[in-house]
Amino acid sequence: MFDGSRCPIAWLGSAPPATSLRALPEASGPLEAWLQVLSFGGGYNTNVVLLGAILLGISAGAVGSFAMLKGRALVADAISHASLVGVGSAFLLQAAAGQQERSMPLLMLGAALAGTCAVVSIEWITRHTRLSAETAVATVSSASFGAGIVVLSATRRVSGADRAGLDELIFGSTASMTSADAMLMAILAVAALGATLALYRVLTAVAFNERFAHARGLPVRLLDTILAALVGAVAMAGLQAVGMLLVAALLVAPAATARLWTTRVAPMVLVAAAAGAGAAWIGASLSAVTPNAPAGPLIILSAAAAFLVSLLIAPDRGIFSGWLRHRQVAAAARRLAAGGPAAAANSGSAPTGPASAGPASAGPASAGPASAGAGPADAGPPADEGSR
């Protein structure tokens, strides 16, 4: 049973508690239980889980859309890897101060500082060297992940590290979340979503054309920094629910899915938010009725499944629609090639059709239009000159 002092979304990201299926006495099987949870009929605790996960998915989809349009989608990966260093360092400082219990706000602060350092490093490498942004992101991400593994290895030698549950933050687990932890996650997600909607126009201008944004007087560098901060806020919000290694996928997958369906920014943001919400809804509900299945990986698998389906059936950029267009173009080319020689043969033969009757019967000085009496107006003067 749940501890009353714990957050009601405590089983999100970990093995569901014994109450997850017992709370559904009307369900006769796993499928019926899942459908009942999916329709918000699983009780108060389960409904709170679904709503919290959906909120995180909406924020990730909206922010991830602009990050992908700006070419900064992998920055989330660098931030999540750098947060390993921040979380481990914050715990070491906390242990040095004599505090054995985990302080989630302190760990999130350490993760935020480490993520900020990663973003600053990427921007400095991009602006002061000839390396591309992708190379800078890959370098910082790899170095951060290596440093994070070293720091986390050091934390294992500290007394109380097992009880702190640092390993749960890597792959995502909310079994140890308190109500304060859940409130902090909700505040970060809502703040990121609100800032994205408020800066929609300027973020769109910067994402598509930096020179145009400069000409309009927009602070491009400041907006880039704000976008990176929004990505970091979503990464911190999903730190416990999805995990440091999977939160980047929650930012990228819904935006990539939306990009396959539309080429306009506003519909893309809406579709990405819907895809993120749907993935979180399905993943969290499956976790509620599946023993030993954490919600984080199930949410990411749901988002990946939506991307795969979109990749196959999207109307303009899907594989199936591209195959159909290729077949139509090939068929048209074959018809044109087959009709070309026949048309050439008909043009050199006796007039047998309406298309060849005019050119075959008409001579160089044909007066057909003039003699018909319905030709153009300038056909009269040549006829008069001939008579004279």
Query: Has residue 3 been placed in a domain?
Result: no
Q: How far is CA 383 from the centre of its chain?
A: 73
Residue 192 three-state SS: helix
CB neighbours of residue 311 within 10 Å: 15
Rounded average pLDDT over 332-344:
73
| Residue 56 within a domain | yes
pLDDT averaged over every residue in the chain: 76
Whole-angstrom distance, CA of residue 298 vs CA of residue 279: 8
Cβ burial 158-185 (10 Å sphere, 16+ → b, else e) = beebeebebebbbbbbbbbbeeebbebb
Q: Is the dihedral of CA 368, 374, 376, 378 positive or negative?
A: positive
Q: What's the total number of domains in the chain?
A: 1
Q: Which of 305, 277, 301 is nearest to 287 (CA)?
A: 301
The average pLDDT across 288-315 equals: 86
Is residue 380 within 8 A of residue 370, CB to CB? The reply is yes
Domain span at residue 235 reads: 19-320
Identify the three-state secondary structure at position 4.
Answer: coil
Report the C-alpha gap between 14 and 168 in whole angstroms.
Answer: 9
Q: Is 358 inside any structural domain?
A: no
Return the SS3 of 263: coil
Tell me the whole-structure pTM to 2 decimals. Answer: 0.72
Residue percentage of the chain with pLDDT more than 90: 17
Average pLDDT for 170-199: 75
> What is the structure's pLDDT at 182?
65
C-beta separation of 273 from 200 below 8 A:
no
The residue that leads in pLDDT, 285 or 347, is 285
Residue 109 in any domain: the answer is yes
Burial 122-135 (b: 16+ CB within 10 A, else e): bbebbeeeeeebee
> What percent of the chain is predicted at pLDDT more than 70?
72
Retrieve residue 49's tokens.
Answer: 């889980």
Note the pLDDT tens digit of each residue in 204-254: 988 888 888 888 888 888 888 888 889 988 888 888 778 778 888 899 999
pLDDT value at residue 21:
39
By the 8 A CB rule, do 167 and 5 touch? Answer: no
Residue 368 lies inside a defined structural domain of this protein: no
- Is the residue at 158 inside a domain? yes
Residue 379 resides in a domain: no
Neighbour-count burial for 47-80, b at 16+ CB within 10 Å, e otherwise: ebbbbbbbbbbbbbbbbbbbbbbbebbbbbbbbb
* pLDDT of 181 over the 90 cut: no
**Taking the CA of residue 103 as centre, how many other CA atoms within 13 Å lie in the half-sphere pointing to its CB?**
15
Instruction: Say how many residues make up the chain.
Output: 388
- Stretch 147-158: mean pLDDT: 84
Is 365 within a domain? no
Give the domain CATH number at 37: 1.10.3470.10
Q: In this structure, which amino acid lies at residue 90?
A: A
Residue 141 has pLDDT above 50, yes or no: yes
Instruction: Please report which confidence band the pLDDT of residue 301 belongs to, taking 50, 70 and 90 as the band edges.
Output: very high
Each residue of 360-369: pLDDT tens digit? 444 444 444 4
Q: Which of 150-154, 295-299, 314-318, 368-372 has the lowest mean pLDDT?
A: 368-372
For the CA atoms of the chain, what is the radius of gyration? 32
Intra-chain end-to-end CA distance of the chain, in Å: 114
Residue of 232, 202, 182 whose CA lies nearest to 63: 232
Residue among 151, 152, 77 at smallest CA distance from 115? 77
Q: What 3-state class would DSSP assign to 372? A: helix
